[in-house]
């Protein structure tokens, strides 16, 4: 079992090798949620994630002989970059096995930190089997992404800094993938703030602890925006710690995580990946648990694909009425599009996209169907634009 002394020793060991990230009160998120929100900005680490804390501690503990033989890790993202960076800083040869489906950007960033990347396996499990075989053949040290005391202790240094900087807190909420972050942080929190409530968060398709404190289940898996916590089963050692230290595990939806990413970007001015926004998603999903409480949330990572981030923001705007999608039946005659554009402009709307269909969707040869996407200030403004257009045309919201 990991001890508080393991965490404090890790903090000394990695001091100066990772960033002591800011701990900030967020007034915007507090107003939006009804809780008193404090953020720990792990998205500002050099590799954009808390993962390098555990990697730095694990690699610093290697013997000279182990360093000479090199290390190997398997990861599709943040752990890969953390191991690659700190192996490079220590002059250790590193091999990172990544599944073939790993996005090109993550592969490039890992290589840029100096590691040799091997793309192998159609799934993470296949990549893991290949890495374990390679480790046995070459005698490298395997750096596990979470189920390792040294890695957990390194991740726990996040909570040490948070509790030193934030003052009194009622709750700490952290995402659960393999469980390393929550396990390490819970050990530190229990030692320093015994009465603090500790809450873990999983995404619904990877909710192995949905019955917590009951037995773990086998989740459905599948695609998720929170790929950083897309782990079918948490680690054996992390599970032991979490069951001993943590009070509650909450499950959130994909939509809640998308909304949390958007709120972090617009309200807190922070870029977060899906897993990094999971803790805020829990506060948004279960407001009655957090209202009026002092709640700490680590933004555990900020490595989100630019296209995914853009689409997430647009989807959130569509859901909350700031993007209006209208389908209109219009007469097919000159000047109609100009009139519609003028009406939208006079109502204060901003046209984002227009699709004009004459041949296939229109009910008559003398008519056309127009689909228009409009940016509005808020739902009330969207309703005003719709009403103005409805005075002259048949309009329905899509």
Domains of the chain, residue spans: 4-49+151-315, 51-142, 321-397
Mean pLDDT score, 84-101 = 93
What element of type H or E holds 352? strand 350-357
- DSSP alpha helices (H): ranges in the chain? 4-14, 27-33, 51-60, 64-69, 78-90, 104-112, 124-138, 149-166, 180-192, 236-245, 254-263, 278-285, 287-290, 306-319, 336-346, 379-390
341 is catalytic: no
DSSP 3-state of 26:
coil
What is the reported pLDDT for 111?
93
300 is catalytic: yes
Mean pLDDT score, 212-237 = 91
* Least confident segment among 7-16, 198-207, 311-320: 311-320
Which CATH code, of 3.40.50.300, 3.30.70.260, 3.30.470.20, 3.40.640.10, is assigned to 321-397? Answer: 3.30.70.260
User: Is the pLDDT score of 40 beyond 90?
Assistant: yes
What is the reported pLDDT for 362?
55
**Cα distance between residue 340 and residue 255, in whole Å:** 33
In the set 26, 75, 186, 300, the catalytic residue is: 300
Does the domain at residues 4-49+151-315 carry the CATH identifier 3.40.50.300? no
The fraction of the chain above a pLDDT of 70, given in percent, is 98
Q: Which CATH class is domain 51-142?
A: alpha beta
**Cα distance between residue 16 and residue 355, in whole Å:** 55
Mean pLDDT score, 127-135 = 91
Cross-strand pairs, 41: 299
What is the reported pLDDT for 239?
97
User: Is the pLDDT score of 331 beyond 90?
Assistant: no
**Cα distance between residue 21 and residue 301, in whole Å:** 12
The model's pLDDT over 337-384, given as tens digits with 9 standing for 90+, comes to 999 999 999 999 999 999 877 655 556 666 788 899 999 999 999 999
CB 398 within 8 A of CB 373: no
User: Is the pLDDT score of 178 beyond 60?
Assistant: yes
CB 228 within 8 A of CB 276: yes
DSSP 54-119: HHHHHHHT--HHHHHH-EEEE-SSHHHHHHHHHHHHHT--EEEEE-TTS-HHHHHHHHHTTPEEEE
What element of type H or E holds 367? strand 367-375
Q: What is the dihedral of CA 202, 207, 211, 214, to 10 degrees?
A: -90
Average confidence score pLDDT of the chain: 93
* Least confident segment among 39-53, 117-131, 242-256, 350-364: 350-364
DSSP 3-state of 290:
helix
Strands across the sheet with 323-331, in order? 350-357, 367-375, 323-331, 394-397
In this prediction the pTM is 0.90
In the set 17, 51, 58, 106, the catalytic residue is: 51
The answer to whether 4-49+151-315 and 51-142 have equal CATH topology is: yes
Dmax over CA atoms of the chain, in Å, equals: 82
């Amino acid at each position: 079992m990991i001890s508080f002394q393991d965490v404090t020793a890790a903090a000394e060991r990695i001091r100066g090798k990772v960033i002591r990230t800011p701990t900030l009160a967020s007034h915007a998120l507090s107003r939006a949620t009804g809780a008193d929100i404090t953020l720990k900005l792990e998205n500002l680490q050099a590799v954009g994630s808390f993962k390098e804390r555990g990697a730095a501690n694990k690699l610093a503990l290697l013997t000279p002989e182990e360093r000479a033989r090199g290390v190997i890790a398997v990861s599709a993202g943040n752990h890969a970059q953390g191991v690659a960076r700190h192996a490079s800083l220590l002059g250790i040869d590193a091999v990172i096995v990544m599944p073939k489906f790993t996005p090109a950007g993550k592969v490039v960033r890992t290589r840029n930190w100096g590691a040799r990347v091997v793309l192998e396996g159609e799934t993470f499990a296949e990549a893991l089997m290949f890495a374990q075989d390679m480790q046995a053949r070459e005698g490298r040290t395997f750096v596990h992404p979470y189920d390792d005391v040294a890695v957990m202790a390194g991740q726990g240094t996040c909570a040490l800094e948070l509790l030193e900087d934030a003052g009194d807190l009622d709750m700490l909420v952290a995402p659960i993938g393999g469980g390393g972050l929550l396990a390490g942080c819970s050990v530190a929190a229990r030692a320093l703030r015994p009465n603090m409530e500790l809450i873990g968060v999983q995404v619904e398709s990877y909710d192995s602890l949905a019955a917590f404190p009951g037995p773990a289940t086998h989740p459905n898996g599948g695609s998720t925006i929170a790929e950083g916590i897309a782990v079918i089963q948490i680690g054996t050692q992390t599970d032991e710690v979490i069951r001993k230290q943590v009070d509650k595990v909450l499950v959130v939806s994909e939509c809640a995580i998308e909304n949390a990413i958007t709120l972090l970007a617009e309200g807190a001015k922070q870029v977060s990946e899906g897993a990094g926004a999971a803790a805020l998603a829990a506060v948004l999903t279960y407001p009655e648990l957090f209202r009026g409480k002092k709640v700490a949330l680590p933004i555990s990572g900020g490595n989100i694909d630019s296209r995914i981030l853009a689409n997430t923001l647009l989807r959130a705007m569509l859901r909350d009425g700031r993007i209006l999608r209208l389908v209109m039946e219009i007469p097919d005659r000159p000047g109609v599009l100009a009139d519609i554009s003028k009406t939208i402009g006079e109502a204060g709307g901003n046209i984002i996209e227009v699709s004009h269909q004459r041949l296939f969707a229109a009910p008559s040869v003398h008519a056309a169907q127009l689909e228009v996407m409009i940016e509005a200030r808020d739902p009330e403004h969207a309703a005003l634009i719709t009403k103005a257009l409805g005075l002259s045309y048949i309009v329905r919201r899509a």
